Amino acid sequence: MNIIQTVQNGWDRFWFSNPTTIENIGLARIGLGLGLILLNISEFHTLLTLNLSGPYFYYIERVWYFKLLGIETMIPALNLAFFALLMAATVGVILGWRTRISAAVLILCIFYLMGVRDSIAGDEHHRYYMWVHALVFLAIGRAGEVLGLDARRARRPMEAWEATWPIRAAQAYVAWFYFISAVAKVRVSGMNWLATGAPVQKMLLVAQSRWGVDDTTVGRMLSDNPTLALIAVVMTMTVEFGFPLLLFVRSEKLRLIFLLGIAFFHITNAAIGGVNFWVTPFLFIVFFDLGKRFEGRARSLQKVFEPSPAGG
């Protein structure tokens, strides 16, 4: 066997032959949609507190696509309209109703509301990146036809490889996102990220001083301990650089332990450091074949969505 054939076989095994149940892509879509409901509320609830009949606001630091589209003012009532459409599209994804259209509308609403928020804050946040890419992969991969209303419009049964590659692509992007986050830290801050705990100490000090200085908070006390800060840095960099290795771990128990550790990291980071990636662990369902665990129930539910046989 020549090297080209070896590479091709490895490529096929990675993307298309990774064992997974067909029901898993539908369960992943539902789980992703439920997580997005939480993320949508977490990200944009502050925009809904503005007086809907109040004055328009001119943006000072517009995001690049607002500049490109010529969007200069923030209209409070428009925020509510886009948020309502966002939540409706998210429900559409969960139900598998016109999944690709629902996903497209959802993404457009996300970008508009992100643009509003970030043009006000003067900062750009990236908490949606993994979610949006995973959603795109699932939508392209006919995820709505499994445990969704799109099953009634399906022209043919889904084959195993069609349910495998979107999940694998979502896993690969999540792994890449964590890896490139570590690369960005080293690129911007240099080896200071690994040599000292200073970056984490600075982050904690800024977060704990945002609403006034309080020396009794856990974050404030941790910021005074360079050893603990250094341990946090080493653990963070190890996890982020090593995340792609998870793609090759077959044991679900090992994956669960690893991802539970990252979930704990995100939740404590949100509570102590104000880095609000606390919803991200919901995205980790793509690393597990839920179809195997709920196979009987999933297949029974699939029959509800499929059209009745003619004459039945």
Q: Is residue 87 part of a domain?
A: yes
Determine contact, residues 154/307, Cβ cutoff 8 Å: no
Q: How far apart are CA 208 and CA 201, in angstroms?
A: 10
pLDDT digits (tens, 9 = 90+) for 282-304: 999 999 988 777 666 666 666 65
3 state DSSP class of 123: coil
Q: What angle do CA 169, 156, 18 make, to 5 degrees?
A: 30
Q: Is residue 61 part of a domain?
A: yes
Q: Quick one: 166 exposed, middle or buried, by C-beta within 10 A (0-12, 13-18, 19+)?
A: buried
Q: Is residue 255 part of a domain?
A: no
Instruction: Give residue 96's pLDDT band: very low, low, confident or very high (50, 70, 90).
Output: very high
Q: Is residue 225 part of a domain?
A: no
Q: Is residue 62 part of a domain?
A: yes
Specify the number of domains making up the chain: 1
pLDDT digits (tens, 9 = 90+) for 101-130: 999 999 999 999 999 988 887 666 788 999
Instruction: Give residue 311's pLDDT band: very low, low, confident or very high (50, 70, 90).
Output: very low
Burial profile 3-42: b = 16 or more Cβ within 10 angstroms, e = fewer: eeeeeeeeeeeeeebbebbbbbbbbbbbbbbebbbebbee
**Whose structure tokens read 């949606």?**
128
DSSP H helical ranges for 217-251: 218-223, 226-242
Q: How far apart are CA 205 and CA 207, in angstroms?
A: 5
Return the structure tokens found at 26: 């539908």
Q: Is residue 138 part of a domain?
A: yes
3 state DSSP class of 58: strand
Q: What is the pTM of this model?
A: 0.85
Q: What angle do CA 163, 262, 250 make, to 5 degrees?
A: 45
Q: Is residue 296 part of a domain?
A: yes
Q: Is residue 114 part of a domain?
A: yes
Determine contact, residues 148/26, Cβ cutoff 8 Å: yes
Q: How far apart are CA 158 and CA 163, in angstroms?
A: 7
Q: Look up the domain containing 93 and give its range.
A: 19-150+292-303
